Amino acid sequence: MKLHRIGVIMNGVTGRMGTNQHLVRSILAIQRQGGVRIKKNEAIMPEPVLVGRKEDKLRKLAKAHGLQNISTNLAGVLADPKNKIYFDSQSTKLHVDSMLMAIDAGKAVYCEKPTAESLEKAVQLYQAAERAGVKNGVVQDKLFLPGLQKFAKIKQQGILGKILSVHGEFGYWVFSGHNAEQTPQRPSWNYRSEDGGGIIVDMHSHWRYVIDNLFGRVKSVLTHAETHLKERIDENGKVYTCTADDAAYAIFETEDNVLCQFNSSWVTRVRRDDLFTMLVNGTEASAVIGLRKCRLQKLSSTPRFVWNPDVDIPVDPNNNWEEVPASETYDNAFKNQWELFLRHVVLDEPFPWNLREGAKGVQLAEKSRQSHRQRRWLDLEELPE
């Protein structure tokens, strides 16, 4: 077997996403399967270099997975020509500076979303990558989820007819930490705007590529945001003031005139099919998309509901939905995209999810915050090349 060994610098790898999704579920899973097979006797083998600020944490993570290569010196690992890819999953605020260092060093760069805190910086980042001629990408994992892939397929077959509207519901209750038995399940920086937190910047950067890809380019936005919980407890048991939005209520309109109404909240309890669902209403059918499943109700099986509050609902609204079958076996969404990025770097295959696409997510988040402050609809301009 001929192996293309590619050093992958993973900065921020001790974090939640870095460890679970990118190191364990993607890079190590690719190693375990013998690399990304590109020909019968040829494969790409990623070799992670774990980078962060704290040596003890890196050492512990490396030991847990039988890895050797760790460093607290980013400039040092960037200078090593064996390392061809730089990947950034640090907290959002830190992406741009480190990514620019990697671009300067001529590495192919791949970044968690949102790529930057402001549109200005996100544009600066993709323009720097373009100028330097380095391959670049942004994580857009939701597109690779089984539920969304199944939907994309039935949509392409025209089963829904004309798509009219989408109702997206994202969220769950993130514990505040006030009760010692219910520890917060997300890092505290998410709830401080000065540290790059906030649900708009986090989730609207996802909604941009989800909507652009499935329902047409987002052309305008109306958002209202709230910080429902004013106080939480951090990783060290200290009370802190929440300065970032923890819920956002938004309407996005696409160029195809699809109205997409999305609620995103870390302060809601779940009574729906999944932590993220989209109800898509089309003239011929509606679909409910979850992370892994997609259900369909055709016009012919749509119940004829008649408003009558005096009796219990006569038909269970959860009936009359058929599950869209899997047409392939679905792998981890992050791993799927990693494999495509590795192929892009080694084989020059197309990779449309570049930093300019990443900047569009930042643009939607920025416009959403502006819309909230100004309490009005705002249009999104085309981004510069």
Positions touching ligand NAD (CB under 6 A) are 12, 14-18, 52-53, 89-92, 94, 112-113, 139, 141, 187, 189, 202
Strand, coil or helix: what is 54?
coil
Q: Which is nearer to ligand NAD, 50 or 160 (CB)?
A: 50
| Helices 119-132 and 355-374, axial angle in degrees (round to 10) | 170
Positive or negative, the CA dihedral 88, 368, 227, 172 is: negative
Task: Identify any residues that bridge with 249 across adjacent strands, giving them in sequence order.
Answer: 224, 263
* Cis preceding-peptide flag for 114 (omega within 30 of 0): yes
Q: Which is nearer to ligand NAD, 144 or 252 (CB)?
A: 144
Q: Which is nearer to ligand NAD, 161 or 187 (CB)?
A: 187
Structure tokens at 47: 């070799």
Shortest distance, position 80 Cβ to ligand NAD, whole Å: 20
Q: Which is nearer to ligand NAD, 296 or 362 (CB)?
A: 362
Shortest distance, position 119 Cβ to ligand NAD, whole Å: 16
Alpha-carbon separation of residue 253 from 217, 275, 357 (angstroms): 8, 23, 18
Q: Which is nearer to ligand NAD, 189 or 252 (CB)?
A: 189
Phi, psi (5° rounding) for residue 159? -65, -30
CB atoms within 10 A of CB 378: 16
Shortest distance, position 184 Cβ to ligand NAD, whole Å: 12
Shortest distance, position 344 Cβ to ligand NAD, whole Å: 18
Radius of gyration of the CA atoms of the chain, in A: 22
Structure tokens at 382: 């085309």
In degrees to the nearest 10, what's the CA dihedral of 51, 54, 56, 57?
-70
Question: Amino acid letter at 328?
Answer: E
Shortest distance, position 52 Cβ to ligand NAD, whole Å: 5
Q: Please state, in angstroms and rounded to a whole number, the distance separating the CA atoms of residues 222 and 210.
A: 17
Residues 369/225, Cβ–Cβ less than 8 Å = yes
Q: Which is nearer to ligand NAD, 113 or 360 (CB)?
A: 113
Strand, coil or helix: what is 267?
strand
Shortest distance, position 317 Cβ to ligand NAD, whole Å: 30
Pinpoint the alpha helices (H) of 88-145. 95-104, 119-132
Name 300's Cβ contacts closer than 8 Å, sequence gap at least 6. Answer: none
Structure tokens at 271: 């009574």
Shortest distance, position 10 Cβ to ligand NAD, whole Å: 10
Q: Which is nearer to ligand NAD, 202 or 245 (CB)?
A: 202
Q: Please state, in angstroms and rounded to a whole number, the distance separating the CA atoms of residues 340 and 337.
A: 5
Shortest distance, position 126 Cβ to ligand NAD, whole Å: 16
Q: Which is nearer to ligand NAD, 52 or 137 (CB)?
A: 52
Shortest distance, position 14 Cβ to ligand NAD, whole Å: 4
| DSSP one-letter code for 3 | E
Shortest distance, position 205 Cβ to ligand NAD, whole Å: 8
344 membership: H or E segment, kind and range: helix 333-347
Residues 85/44, Cβ–Cβ less than 8 Å = no
Residue number of the CB atom closest to ligand NAD = 15
Q: Which is nearer to ligand NAD, 240 or 321 (CB)?
A: 240
Q: Which is nearer to ligand NAD, 139 or 260 (CB)?
A: 139
Structure tokens at 200: 């708009």
